[in-house]
Chain A
Amino acid sequence: MLKHYLKIAFRNLAQQKVLSGINIFGLSVGIACFSLFLLYAVHEFSYDRFHTKADRIYRIVEWWEGGEREPGGYAWAYTPVAPAMKRDFPDVEYAIRLKGSDCIVKAADKVFRTSITYADTAFFHVFTFPLIYGNTNTALQQPNQLVITQEKALQYFGTANVVGKTLELKTDSAFVPFTISGVTENIPANSSVKFNLLGSFEHIANDPMVQQSNMNWYMTIGMQAFVQLKPGSRLASEQNRINLFRRKYYPDDYKPKKNPTKEDLIQTSFRLQPIRDIHMNPTIEGGNDPKNIWILITIAGAVLLIACINFTTLAIGRSAGRAKEIGVRKVIGSQRKQLISQFLAESFLLSVLSAATGLMLGSLLLPLFNQLADRKLSFSFSRFPELIWLLIGLIVLVGFLAGSYPALVLSAFKPIEVLKKKVRVGGSNLFTRSLVTLQFVLSIGLIISTVIILQQIAFMRTKNIGLNKENLVMINTEHIGNKRIYPLYKQAIENNAGILGVTASEMGLGAGEGLMGAGYRDFKGELKGVIEYPGDYNYLNTMGMSLIAGRYFNPALASDTTGAVIVNEALVQELLGTTPEKALGTQLLNAKGNRGTKTIIGVARNFNFEDLKQKVRPQFYYRPSAFQPSRIFVRLQAGDPGSKLALLNKTWKKLVPDAPFEYSFVDEKFDNFYKNETRWSNIAGWAGGISIFLACLGLFGLAALAAVNRTKEIGIRKVLGATVTHVAGLLSKDFVKLITVAFAIATPLAWYMMHYWLQAYAWRINITWQVFALTGAFAILLAVATVSVQAIKAAIANPVKALRNE
């Protein structure tokens, strides 16, 4: 029976080449899109699963709850907590601390900047990172041993087997040799724990800061900690035991307060977070929101739906051509359900064929998709076995979604009526009209969204943020004798042509750079966070920031390095509640309510040092007396930066031969704030483009069918004197109506969604009517063009032929 169905299905496919082509191509594109997003989702949800003991590995997090705070957790770990847990809980098998930092390494006389992670010795007992060379039991035993990834080994040494070789790590004054004790396979893309170089925690145990943090149970130094529980332990769910543990080491936190402030109401606890939960738990800092994945899947689903709708509408449109077959089959004994199975078999066949081509298309598009999604995905059924089931499910779903309505409609034909040609099933009943409208609602909506996201990105990139970020180069001077280098370097380049200014600061600027801050009391006595920005005297003027009151720092005044600050407008408003002029000379109140250390000498115009989602927060600039700049900023003359960069590089090589010259353009650093937005606009743009393409493809097929179904009518009209334009208009009119309706539905939906999306931005564009008008006009033009091709073909055909056919 099935063989019989498939045979018929194949012959139908072969006979209706254009329609089959549209169907298979459309569904392939839809499936390709969907499978890529599926792969992405599977990848995102597969994080950290590869550890063989993943079900027993937990991350120690600090959980804050109560007061006015949204409950949430932080992944920082206090240095002594993890060892204490191992000591106090018999069911903690291992405790691992991970401390990452930035470093400069020398390998075979070449220097590189990279990241390094220091871990406790049991690292390889807990995490599954197989070593290609070396022994996991001994790899981290000595403080001067290093494990390196295969990728980095190849980069530094040109070969993977580098066990026993020496890698030198730069400290402030010298290079310290390390022995490579192991080479790991490259870290899987779906690992939350990542490293390039892995050193022993022992090595940094004597670092003053680490030592200090080991004594201070409140001090964080950017460390994460994991524990591995013994099999059968339920510690992670026995919050009581963990709370008792915390009470033991933080007794002060549990003493009743006399006048509790808002901050005192926040209750702090430790929690154990399963390692597989890290990547997809947004309540803990650094976790991703699964909502975004569902949005992506929904977009991909919309594209797939559009392709399925093509199949459905075309099948209905062609029903006239198949009516006879259905009638005959019923007369010779077929039951309705047998016909339903037959039609479903056809759509399943199509679905399987499309899935095959779709997966090929998907793997071809994978590199592009990886770029869009900023991932390194691959279709690996061994790594993602569930992908097989999901794809089978997808095929069944597509077959069913696309085939069920035609199957129900076609199988319901009455044989006698069909055979007597009483039913003329046209191409469009209300249902198919609604489906076509839905297709265009989705595509128009996606395109409008894309345009608005793009507008917002362009706005954020070009907005005057209160600092001249053009032609500004930032050079990284971390770990290279900061104090010494900056004045020398400045002196060496300052007076060259094309260099307009040189300054430095202890903090970077733009995406991926840190911020420092502290709490200060405002004029009502409430605690407010203030960003502190340590820069050189000439920092503000070189960066192109302007003052609205007071003066810049003056190197001649000794007091300017001890207590002078230049604040921004936001600080004046929120902390002082006064005007810039009156703020001058005011002293800031620190968190304890004391005055006297920081006097305002100037007020700077607000500068968006964060992305434009944020309002400008209170901020002040100061010149520390012991200035240790980690970034040098060089303002170049506008124009081709090539020669000036060459000069910067040459000077650097001369002054700092043992560290790489690492620079970035500040405007790019700011653009990087909008990586996410750019990604979303890319995704929405592609989805919108593909979906309107698919919708038009369907329209093309429907128009062809409409022309066929109305051959006789067109013939009669032409005999009666209708012109080509007239006939083409007649055929296009129906479709244009549908698209106009779609536009009317999509507009408010897209407006509402994008309005909601824009609310996340403190600085945002206004949605203008032009976006809608242009998108609508574009969609209608495209549809008319598509339909016209068929309409004109039908209109110029010889009417006599058409009538004779009847």
Chain B
Amino acid sequence: MIELKHISKWYQVGGKPTFILKDINLTIKEGEFVSIMGPSGSGKSTLLHILGMLDDANEGEYHFMDQPVHSLKEKQRSQIYKQHVGFVFQAYHLIDELTVYENIETPLIYQNIKTNERKAMVADMIDRFNIVGKKDLFPTQLSGGQQQLVGIARALIAKPKLLLADEPTGNLNSKQGEEIMDLFKQLNKEGVTIIQVTHSEKNAGYGSHIINLLDGRIEKTN
């Protein structure tokens, strides 16, 4: 599903390139649940952003479902992205001005899905996540765990094949964290490919693979 070949990313600092990612080669198959680990500054988030097409590599090839992402135009890339990728953040990043219902609905609006269909899809998702009673609340009225649930619901609403999560439990207590990870496991069983960045060995254990990054390189995969 995903194939990275010789991906590098650097910034120019004082005329010299400082590498964030260096010569990353990686293959992820559909249905896998991969955890990316590593110390701060090892390039985990950048790798995730490149995988999520939010950021470009300076060098290398990225194939997503047999499409050469690195050579696609912005428009085509955003098309693939909209259809196949969902994102979950550590800080949830819900839109404060929108209700729970509207937050979940928004991605569908950007995919020009008709109102009736949208209603049905959002209603299903809200049912499934057991947040029917919360649908008219605003994000600030929810606990962190609930906010992250909404964030995941929003990421899943467009039925993506790939779910990317950047420290999804980082702001949650351990019980809430466990619930989220159980949910991820469940989703993975249903066929969603998941890549998460995490600091926690325990959370990484939920996945099928762990990729360890150090100073922009893959140290080991298991």
Contacts and interface: CB of A to CB of B under 8 A. Distances in A.
Interface residues of A, number: 21
A258 interface: no
Contact of B95 (A15, A325, A415): A325
A1 B109 contact: yes
Contact of A331 (B93, B109, B111): B93
Contacts of B110: 329, 332-335, 338
Contact of B158 (A11, A12, A333): A333
Nearest to B45: A420
B93 A324 contact: yes
A210 interface: no
A540 B109 CA distance: 87
A463 interface: no
B97 A11 contact: yes
B66 to A, nearest CB: 22
B106 interface: yes
Given A325-B95, A325-B97, A419-B89, A331 B54 contact: yes
A1 to B, nearest CB: 6
Contact of B97 (A1, A12, A338, A415): A12
Interface in B89-144: 89, 91, 93-98, 102, 106-107, 109-112
Contacts of B98: 8, 11
Contacts of A11: 97-98
B70 interface: no
A325 B87 contact: no
A804 interface: no
Given A1-B109, A332-B87, A416 B49 contact: yes
Interface in B68-97: 75, 78, 81-82, 87, 89, 91, 93-97
Contacts of B82: 333
A598 to B, nearest CB: 88
A1 B110 CA distance: 8
Interface in A317-350: 324-325, 327-329, 331-335, 338
A737 interface: no
B93 A328 contact: yes
B44 interface: no
A484 interface: no
A247 interface: no
Contacts of B158: 333
B109 A328 contact: no
Contacts of B96: 324-325
Nearest to A11: B97
Contacts of B89: 419
A335 B82 CA distance: 10
Contacts of B102: 4, 7
A331 B87 contact: yes
A676 B93 CA distance: 61
B179 interface: no
A7 B106 CA distance: 12
Interface string A129-148: 00000000000000000000
A419 B109 CA distance: 22
A766 B26 CA distance: 82
A328 B81 CA distance: 14
B81 A327 contact: no
A335 B87 contact: no
A440 B75 CA distance: 42
A4 B93 CA distance: 19
Contacts of B112: 1
Contacts of A328: 93-95
A283 B139 CA distance: 69
Contacts of A338: 110
Contacts of A4: 102, 106, 109
Contacts of A8: 97-98
B111 A327 contact: no
Interface in B19-42: none
A32 B91 CA distance: 45
Nearest to B157: A332
Contacts of B81: 333
B55 interface: yes
B131 to A, nearest CB: 18
B111 A333 contact: yes
B106 A329 contact: yes
A1 B105 CA distance: 11
B107 A332 contact: yes
A322 to B, nearest CB: 9
Contacts of B109: 1, 4
B70 to A, nearest CB: 17
29 contacts: A1-B112, A4-B109, A7-B102, A8-B97, A8-B98, A11-B97, A324-B93, A324-B96, A325-B95, A325-B96, A327-B93, A328-B95, A329-B95, A329-B106, A329-B110, A331-B87, A332-B106, A332-B107, A332-B155, A333-B78, A333-B81, A333-B158, A335-B75, A335-B78, A338-B110, A415-B54, A416-B54, A419-B89, A419-B93
Given A11-B98, A329-B106, A333-B78, 8 more contacts: A4-B106, A12-B97, A325-B95, A325-B97, A332-B107, A335-B75, A416-B55, A419-B89
* A-B complex: 10 closest residue pairs judged by Cβ atoms: A333-B82, A333-B110, A332-B107, A11-B97, A328-B93, A334-B110, A333-B107, A416-B54, A331-B87, A325-B95
